[in-house]
Structure 1
């Protein structure tokens, strides 16, 4: 049985006349009569009562008409759904972000704009560590992620820089450097400080950047602890264990216990906000998300 058989059957049932049904279907009357007879033979059930030129559904035909209409409705809906999916108008997207990326103004702005532009696309969002998110991307468990780290060591992934954000020094409130000053800090000012650093799998995160910058400034930072997430680093700063260097968008966290000082222009330190996705992505919804993210990032610069 083919879908066309069901469509032929429904047309004949609704018109109660083979000639009118054939005209509606844009086919000849004899082939239509043959198709209806073939359908009845395949079912082993007579669906119509025939009186002269008039053809009417019998009890079995009425039952089959209800089922046929339901099947055709499901098929039509499936066709429309897959067409909208192919156009990037409907479907599901799975996004991820690190806790620090989520606090950047651009991240919620992009998500909000995408939901407004594409309300038929369902968004599933999860927070995680950068390495975990990048692995999930490679394994196709998520479709895109906002992270701070590089993807150089992830061959299947592609990264787009949305912003370069200034970093600030998070300092315990009772620390000697926690003072209101007209000038910013230099990296050299941090030479003898106790650092709380981030431990990034694959050596592609902020820790490696800071180590390089400190080395260029003539010292190696003394790390008293390493954490996986920036939020944890700020909590340790609040507890007085040391200082940390964090994106400026985090400077509203623990304001009673942590003081945030900028770097001076000569020692400006920035960290990227990257949107990462699979290199050979073909889903239109993801392409549209990437395009919208790029457009909004341009307006921010």
Structure 2
């Protein structure tokens, strides 16, 4: 039994006439009659009484009608559901991001635009440090992550650098260097450097330490902060200074000053990473929209 048999049966049942039913569905009357006979043969009982001016449902035909009347609508709904899934308009996607990535204006914009374009896709967001994000990505607990890491060791991860942002110095507001609009990192050589652990964010850690060395001094590592947000609070407590991506200047805190850096300014790159073997259409749409918004070439790792 095929769906077309159901449609032919319903047309005859509703019209009460083979000729009118044939005209309604766009086939000849003889082929329609043959299809109905084939259906009756398969079921093993007559579905219509042939009467002089048309056709009437038998008792078996009425019982059959009550069950199959919704089949065409169900089939159409199934087709539309499959088409929506095929376009990535339904499903779910789990996206992670670092605290500093959240301050980059493009990241919230990507989330907002994707939700508007694909309202049927459930998006779950999770904030964590870079090491946790990479682990969650590899263990398939997240589908994509925004992080400030230039490379991810191992195969199976695709990495796209989507923006490059200068770092700025964050220092206590009462620090003598804070009187200037721009500062030399060498002016901070005697201050403790506050960072998150290297295991949490190796790229950021290495870039900050390298920037200090390029400025002619070996930084004195001070208080370790669990995350970049804590770095700002520790600076406000006058425990030292740090370097952070410029978008983090949106995080205003009493007792801190953000200042541009003279000379070679270290750059913080924001990257999008996901598993290269992930075939989710929702993920493909998310990546495509993210890259289109930033118009950046991708880097395979």
TM-score class normalised by the smaller sequence = 0.7 to 0.9
| CA–CA distance in structure 2, aligned partners of residues 235 and 57 of structure 1 | 80
Name the SS for the 1:224 alignment partner.
strand
Name the SS for the 2:234 alignment partner.
helix
Where does structure 2 lack aligned partners over 5 or more consecutive residues? 297-301
Q: Does 1:29 align with 2:32?
A: yes
Q: 8 Å contact 1:162–1:297 — kept in the other structure?
A: yes
Aligned match of 1:219? 217
| CA–CA distance in structure 1, aligned partners of residues 42 and 233 of structure 2 | 73
Name the SS for the 2:183 alignment partner.
coil
Query: What does the per-residue CA deviation read over 1:158-204, in whole Å, with 9 as the maximum and x for residues that have no partner?
Result: 12122111111221233343x2314x223323322212212254864
Give the stretch that moved more between structures: 1-10 or 28-37: 1-10
Aligned match of 1:241? 239
1:105: how far off? 0.9
| CA–CA distance in structure 1, aligned partners of residues 19 and 225 of structure 2 | 78
Aligned match of 2:193? 195
Q: Does 1:277 align with 2:280?
A: no
Aligned match of 1:139? 139
Aligned match of 2:127? 127
Aligned-residue RMSD, C-alpha: 3.1
Aligned match of 1:292? 289
Name the SS for the 2:141 alignment partner.
coil
| CA–CA distance in structure 2, aligned partners of residues 13 and 142 of structure 1 | 53
| CA–CA distance in structure 1, aligned partners of residues 143 and 258 of structure 2 | 34
1:74: how far off? 3.2
1:262: how far off? 1.5
1:252: how far off? 2.9
Name the SS for the 1:13 alignment partner.
helix
Q: How does 1:141-180 map to 2 (within 5 A)?
A: 141-177=141-177, 179-180=178-179
Query: TM-score by structure 1 length?
Result: 0.81
| Count of residues in Structure 1 that have an aligned counterpart in Structure 2 | 293
Q: 8 Å contact 2:8–2:36 — kept in the other structure?
A: no
